[in-house]
């Protein structure tokens, strides 16, 4: 007997997608997510610690603040501030 397995939704969300409303997390079925810059891990190697990096950190923190108003909280930020790990705190 073969079971149909529903693929798990991604836990990675772009800060830009959260800020511009493309990432809708109201019905997201999992409790933990990860916010990353638009290019994900590639951004980390492409960005030097200058103005561009600070723009990306600002976007991550702005997305975090927006999600906090929607029942999410920060679990941790990576050392560079380019990845935020969050969990849902309010019941859906």
Q: Where are the domains of the chain?
A: 12-88
pLDDT digits (tens, 9 = 90+) for 51-92: 677 888 899 999 999 999 999 999 999 888 889 999 999 766
DSSP 53-72: HHHHHHHHHHHHHHHHTTTE
pLDDT digits (tens, 9 = 90+) for 23-61: 989 889 999 999 998 875 445 445 555 667 788 889 999
Q: Taking the model in full, what pTM does it have?
A: 0.80
Nearest to 34 by CA among 26, 50, 23, 20: 23
Q: Which residues pair with 87 in a beta bridge?
A: 32, 73
């Amino acid at each position: 007997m073969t079971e149909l397995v529903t693929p798990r939704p991604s836990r990675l969300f772009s800060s830009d997608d959260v800020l511009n409303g493309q990432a809708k997390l109201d019905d997201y079925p999992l409790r933990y997510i990860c916010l990353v810059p638009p290019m994900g891990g590639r951004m980390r190697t492409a960005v030097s610690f200058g103005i561009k990096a600070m723009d990306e950190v600002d976007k991550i923190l702005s997305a975090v603040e927006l999600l906090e108003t929607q029942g999410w909280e920060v679990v941790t930020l990576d050392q560079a501030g380019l990845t935020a790990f969050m969990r849902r705190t309010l019941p859906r």
